Amino acid sequence: MPSFLAALALAVAAALPRAAPLADGDLRDSTVKILVTQRNPDPVRPWSKQPAGEASGSGVVLEGKLILTNAHVVRYSTQVRVQPNQSSDKLPAKVKAIAVGIDLALLELEDESFFATHPPAPFTEAIPKVGAKVATYGFPIGGETLSTTEGSISRIEYAGYNDDVGGLRIQVDAAINPGNSGGPAAVDGMVVGLCFSGIRNADNIGYVIPNEEIRTFLADVADGSYDGKPQFFGRLQTLENDALRAKLGIDKSVTGLMVTSVPRGAAAGLLQAWDLVSKVGTLPIDNDGMVAGEDGLRLSWHYWVPKLAKDGKLPLTVVRGGKPIDLEVPVAPTSDRLLKPLGNRYPSYFIYGPMILSPVYADYAFGIVRSVLGDASPVVKRLTEECAFPGEELVMIASRLLPHKLSKGYDAGPFSIVGKVNGTPIKNLAHLVDVLRDLKDDFVVFEFADEGTETVVLRRADVEGAQESILEDNDIRSQCSPDLEKHWKR
């Protein structure tokens, strides 16, 4: 087994939990500062990256000579260094596993001698109790040395993280500030989770990723890749309204959620609109969509999906026509959503003449794009839709046409969506590159899906003759991202 996989297997087996709590001083020695140089994507110049920026966060030592931190601390990092507590050393590190959705990442040090004097932190197996006193450790802004804050666990619930990923989350009233991210939160000297965010303009409200989610992440990446947790992506609504219950002809003894939108794929042949999902496994779902656990926690039924799913199928009981039906409903880690997140990748792109073409990614569709486009834009209309067919992407002009005589008089972009090229409907960026590669026509005609966007007509021979000079004038090293080279050159 490769050393990294062996370390991960050891982390899964031994790091969580450890029997005895450490003294406060020892837990401090298990907490590190993480210094990062980051280059974020540039959505309007996808061949490039934004200027390098410096950031910092915190991390905690695990068994297996690994360091756990938040994904957002090391996302898009070009350099990562780990600084031990009470030390000026800055030790080079590498990101070995990252899951942006659940906001966790693993680091490996180049020099493992650090671990001889910095013990792994002890993690408790039990979910902490609401009201328990909690201490957070980390390196927040405002100073250079390790900081600790104290408070109480105020809430434990199932909540959304990033990129449609949900999980268990602990709310604490201990201050969690920028720089605290990735540091441990402990009860009675035992780590209960990893600090990951606070709320702006709120006094002492912070959030912790509990050990249960950390264990799931470690088990997932033990094979060297992150797959994600199975989830249910159908749309449901509560049964609180009396008129709705009367319409469905159900009495107070029937509880659960009503299916309003059936998941696509294999689940579509099993579930129907107006079905009542009454149980997940053998656990009753109430009219708020919650399930009461044995430990007294009342959590969203979604919490139980990855726990009860087996081989990609989730046991559900639905009430249809007044009769209960037991089903095995397919579930998956991701949905077939149209606007997909970048994760830790940089955007794909292709430059054709003066046109910068790139997919629309969820990362900026909900922010930059939506703020500048009207409701008529295909991006805004389809923000939350699934793909109409496998592999569908919206392909946009990422910024205004590059300056060149080829673009004279045209005002297409930015964020205009390519509808057709020479009459061929465009499926995705790779398909667009294939279409352009195989064209034999003298003219290349770009038609756009946006209302009012001008049609762009280019002479194919002129584009071929000017392409290199356009790239050189704009300091663009490559006409396309590496994933598209095989499409353009074959």
Model confidence at 17: pLDDT above 80? no
pLDDT higher at 415 or 281? 281
Confidence band of 350 (pLDDT split at 50, 70, 90): very high
% helix, strand, coil for the chain, step of 5: 20, 35, 45
Mean local confidence (pLDDT), 477-481: 96
Q: pLDDT digit string (tens) for 265-276?
A: 777 789 999 999
Instruction: Tell me: do 382 and 285 sit in the same domain.
Output: no
Q: What pLDDT score was predicted for residue 381?
A: 84
| Residue 213 covered by a domain | yes
| pLDDT bracket for residue 282 (50, 70, 90) | very high
Residue 343: inside a domain, yes or no?
no
Helix (H, G, I), strand (E, B) or coil at 149: strand
Lowest mean pLDDT among 65-74, 142-151, 164-173, 434-443: 142-151
144 and 8 assigned to the same domain? yes
> Whole-prediction pTM value?
0.89
- CA angle, corner 39, sides to 160 and 221, nearest 5? 50
- 247 pLDDT above the threshold of 60: yes
Residue 385 and residue 314 in one domain? no
User: What are the backbone dihedrals phi and psi of residue 378, each rounded to the nearest 5 degrees, phi first?
Assistant: -60, -30
Is 50 exceeded by the pLDDT of residue 19?
no
- Using CA atoms of 184, 187, 192, 193 in order, give the dihedral in degrees to the nearest 10: -30
Q: 262, 281, 257: which is closest to 272 by C-alpha? A: 262
Q: Does 114 score more than 50 pLDDT?
A: yes
Q: What's the whole-number mean pLDDT along residues 1-11?
A: 41
Shared domain check, 203 and 93: yes
Helix (H, G, I), strand (E, B) or coil at 281: coil
> Last residue of some domain: 330, 365, 393?
330
- What is the pLDDT confidence band of residue 204, given thresholds at 50, 70 and 90? confident
Residue 177 domain-assigned (yes or no): yes
Q: What does the buried/exposed string (b/e) look like for 292-308 if buried means 16 or more CB atoms within 10 Å of the residue's CB?
A: eeeeebebbbbbbbbeb
- The pLDDT score that the predictor gives to residue 374 is 66
**Are residues 373 and 303 part of one domain?**
no
What is the spatial distance between Cα 169 and Cα 187, in angstroms, rounded to a whole number?
A: 16
Locate 195 and state its tokens. 């600090």
CA distance linking residue 441 with residue 430, whole number of Å: 20
pLDDT score for 192:
97
% of the chain exceeding 70 in pLDDT: 91
Within-domain flag for 336: no
* Residue span of the structural domain in which 473 resides: 350-489
Backbone φ, ψ for residue 133 (5° rounding): -75, 130
> Are 199 and 291 contained in the same domain?
no
Does one domain contain both 172 and 27? yes
List all residues 6 or more positions away from 29 whose beta carbon is below 8 Å from its beta carbon: 84, 85, 117, 118, 119
State the CATH number of the domain containing residue 101.
2.40.10.120
- Distance from C-alpha of 98 to C-alpha of 206, rounded to nearest angstrom: 22
The count of domains in the chain is 3
Q: How confident is the model at residue 16 (pLDDT cuts 50, 70, 90)?
A: low
Asked if residue 243 and residue 105 are part of one domain, the reply reads no
Contact 222, 4 (CB under 8 A): no
Query: Is residue 338 situated within a structural domain?
Result: no
pLDDT in tens, 318-329: 999 888 999 999
Question: CA torsion sign, 371 to 374 to 379 to 384?
Answer: positive
Among the candidates 221, 252, 286, a domain finishes at 221
Least confident of 90-99, 409-418, 429-438: 409-418
Q: Is the pLDDT of residue 383 over 80?
A: yes
Is the pLDDT confidence value at 14 over 60? Answer: no
The CATH code of the domain that includes 390 is: 3.20.190.20
- The answer to whether residue 229 sits within a structural domain is no
- CB–CB of 234/263 below 8 Å? yes
DSSP class of residue 345 equals P
Whether residue 128 has a cis bond before it, omega within 30° of 0: no
pLDDT score at 259? 94
Angstrom distance (rounded) from CA 235 to CA 483: 34
Q: Looking at residue 335, what DSSP letter applies?
A: -
* Cα 114 to Cα 132: distance, rounded to the nearest angstrom: 33
Q: Are residues 217 and 239 both part of a single domain?
A: no
Specify whether 69 is located in the same domain as 198: yes
Indicate which CATH number applies to the domain containing 281.
2.30.42.60
**Distance from CA of residue 273 to its chain's centroid?**
29
Residue at 337 is within a domain:
no
Tokens of 65: 């000579």
Query: Which H or E element spans position 419?
Result: strand 418-421
Whether residue 7 sits in one domain with residue 118: yes
Q: List Cβ<8 Å contacts ≥24 apart for 42-46.
A: 43/347, 43/358, 43/361, 43/363, 43/364, 43/368, 43/398, 44/356, 44/398, 44/399, 44/414, 45/356, 45/398, 45/399, 46/346, 46/347, 46/348, 46/349, 46/356, 46/358, 46/398, 46/481
For 56, 61, 135, 222, 400, the CA distances from 187, given in Å and listed in that order, are 25, 17, 7, 27, 54
Are the beta carbons of 58 and 31 closer than 8 angstroms? yes
**Domain check: are 204 and 247 in the same one?**
no
* pLDDT tens readout for residues 283-317: 999 999 999 987 778 999 999 999 999 999 999 99
Decide if 70 is inside a domain. yes
* Whether residue 11 has pLDDT greater than 70: no
Residue ending a domain, choose from 221, 247, 282: 221
Instruction: Give 108 or 363, the one with higher predicted confidence.
Output: 108
